[in-house]
Amino acid sequence: TMSATKFILLIAALCTFSFLLTFIRAESPESSMTGVVDLTEANANTYLNGDYNVFLEFYAPWCGHCKNLAPEYAIVGEAMDKFKPKDTILAKVNCDAERSVCSQFGVQGYPTLKFFPKGSTTPKDYNGGRTAVDLVNYLKDEAGARLRLVEKPSFVQVLTPGNFDQVVGHDKNVLVEFYAPWCGHCK
C-alpha cells in the first residue's frame, strides 16, 4: 500500500541520515568557541604570565581524540562565558599553527591538557576525565572557579513502555529514533 511504501522510505531516509551524522561534528577543535581563548604565539605571554588560572588544551586539527573532546570543551566554554569566574581562563592552542608554544611546554601528544595556576608559570598536567563535568569539577577544585554547566532545553524525550502511547499519539506527528546501544552507526 501507499502508506507502507512511505513508511519504508521514511525509515530508509532516517537510517541514511543517522549514518551521515556519524561523520559530522558540531564542533571541531579549530572552530572558535564561546568562552574559550585561542592562544597564539603573539598572545601566549599575556595569558601564561601567572596573572590568571589558565586551563589550556593543546590540540591538532587532524587528531581524532581532539575532535571528540571539542564538543565537551565547548560546553565548558559556554559555562565560562556565562559565569565568568574571576581570574580563570579556558584556552586552546592549535599545535599545527603555533608549534613554538606547544614545544615550549613539551607537548608530544594530542590532546594535552595543562593547568597553569595563578601566581605560577609552571603548568600542572591534567590527567582526569574528558567530559564537561570532569573539566568543570577540576576548575572548581584547582582554581576555585564558581562555575556550573549551562543546561539547554531538550526537545528529546526518552520513550519507555510506560510513556510510549502517551507521547506517540494519533493526534500529532512524532519522529522516533529506534536504536541499540551497541550499534556503531546509532552513536
Q: Which residue do the cell numbers 562565558 mark?
A: 81
Q: Say yes or no to pLDDT of 100 above 80.
A: yes
> What CATH number matches the domain at 37-143, 3.90.1300.10, 2.40.50.100, 3.40.30.10, 2.60.120.280?
3.40.30.10
Residue 59 backbone dihedrals phi, psi, to 5 degrees: -135, 165
User: pLDDT at position 156, please?
Assistant: 77
- 58 DSSP β-pair partners: 93, 112
Q: 25-51: per-residue pLDDT in tens?
A: 445 777 889 999 999 999 999 999 999
Q: In 1-152, where do the E strands start and end?
A: 37-38, 53-59, 88-94, 112-116, 124-125
Q: How far is CA 36 from CA 32, 39, 58, in A?
A: 8, 9, 13
Q: What is the mean pLDDT of the chain?
A: 86
Catalytic member of 15, 63, 95, 102: 63
Q: Does the annotation count 95 as an active-site position? A: no
Q: Does the annotation count 66 as an active-site position? A: yes
Share of the chain above pLDDT 70, in %: 84
Q: Which amino acid is at 136?
A: V
Q: 82-99: per-residue pLDDT in tens?
A: 999 999 999 999 999 999
Catalytic member of 15, 95, 102, 183: 183
Q: pLDDT-based confidence at 20, cuts 50/70/90?
A: very low
Residue 67 contacts residue 25 (beta carbons within 8 Å): yes
